[in-house]
Amino acid sequence: MAGRVVELLVGPDADGERLDAFLAAADGMPSRSACARLVEQGCVTINGTSASSKSERLVLGDRVGCDMGLAEPAEEQEGPLAPNPDIELDIRYEDEWLIVLSKQPGLVCHPSPGHVSDTLANALVAHCGYEHLGLLQGEDRPGIVHRLDQDTSGLMVAAKDDATQKALQDLIRMRTLDRRYVTLVQGYVAPDTGMVESGIARSRRDRLRMAVTDDPSAREAITTFRTLERFEAGRRDEGYTLLECHLYTGRTHQIRVHMRHISHPVVGDQLYGRGDLAQNLGLRRQFLHSWRIAFDHPVTGERIELEDALPDDLASVLPSLANRSMGRTAAGERIEPLLAHGAARPEEG
């Protein structure tokens, strides 16, 4: 790329965008972390003046220039994971300290047996580089603050440095990082609200499963839930209930284990649920989606509140049950419109 000069014009879609993100999105440009280094090395200009910061916000009509011939060789921190730029990241918020993204179903968060280079961690390394990810969880889990199961979709947070990673983990421990999930479970859940509090540990009979237990090795787990909508029993099932679950702790498979514990397993759950595909409404993964996340930014103090509509495979299930609906609760009336793609936020009040 020596001697190549890239000239870009900021269009309406990029008005207000960060400089490093704008550069990385351009054809033929390197990763976002590499673009940030180009800014730091003085290779980037805005309207003929050297850019002052990778986080500088662009304005419609700005002319951005990047002299690739001035770039110094990158000295990137190496790690054990191969970057995988082919994994799409659905980023909903990003700054120089953290990322909030919507994880697609089927994507494993970090390497495990059978998953070496096809994980979220590999995608984060490609997007940020090791030198721009928190490594407190280990070099095989760069940026990871909390996990979602492979077949659970939705919002999660990643950290770009150790200090931010620790601060976000502290928010989880202090139960001030608000994580809300939507799940469809088997059967009729009678109460409008409830709480499941138990110890969870790895099952002694099946090492792939977790279980509710009073074993001294078990870790405290607390899940509260609100009922959103109930669906009548059919000829081959006992009905269904749509719930919003609030995690106060983050144990492995927590919601799935707790729902099984109260005899309402998650629809489509291959590990803790029912094997009958008809009762699972045709789903081959659990109906579990991280739909809302809210927290105070650990560096800026800004309140971050993001919501994520149901992906198509889960969203398509609810219309198939519409003629069996027993009505939405007050919570369901507020929340369910937000789960539909393109839905407008209802008026407050």
CATH of the domain at 298: 3.30.2350.10
In a domain, 81, yes or no: no
Determine the pLDDT at residue 349.
32
Mapped onto helix, strand or coil, the DSSP state of residue 285 is: coil
Are residue 194 and residue 319 in the same domain, yes or no?
yes
Last residue of a domain, one of 70, 98, 122: 70
In a domain, 77, yes or no: no
For residue 218, give Cα distances in angstroms to 29, 137, 146, 211, 215: 49, 21, 19, 9, 5
| 149 catalytically annotated | yes
Contacts of 100 (CB under 8 A, 6+ apart): 91, 92, 93, 94, 155, 156, 157, 158, 293, 304, 306
Whole-model pTM?
Answer: 0.79
Determine the pLDDT at residue 40.
85
Range of the domain at 290: 178-339
Last residue of a domain, one of 117, 146, 173: 173
Determine the pLDDT at residue 112.
83
Cα distance between residue 89 and residue 273, in whole Å: 29
In a domain, 346, yes or no: no
Domain count, the chain: 3
Options 62, 149, 151, 161, the catalytic residue: 149
Determine the pLDDT at residue 347.
42
Among 157, 125, 163, which Cα is nearest to 141's? 125
Cα distance between residue 104 and residue 148, in whole Å: 10
Determine the pLDDT at residue 76.
53
Determine the pLDDT at residue 222.
95
Q: For the chain, which ranges sit under pLDDT 70?
A: 1-3, 70-78, 341-349
Which helix or strand (DSSP H or E) is residue 122 part of? helix 120-128
Contacts of 254 (CB under 8 A, 6+ apart): 200, 210, 221, 223, 247
Are residue 188 and residue 246 in the same domain, yes or no?
yes
Determine the pLDDT at residue 4.
76
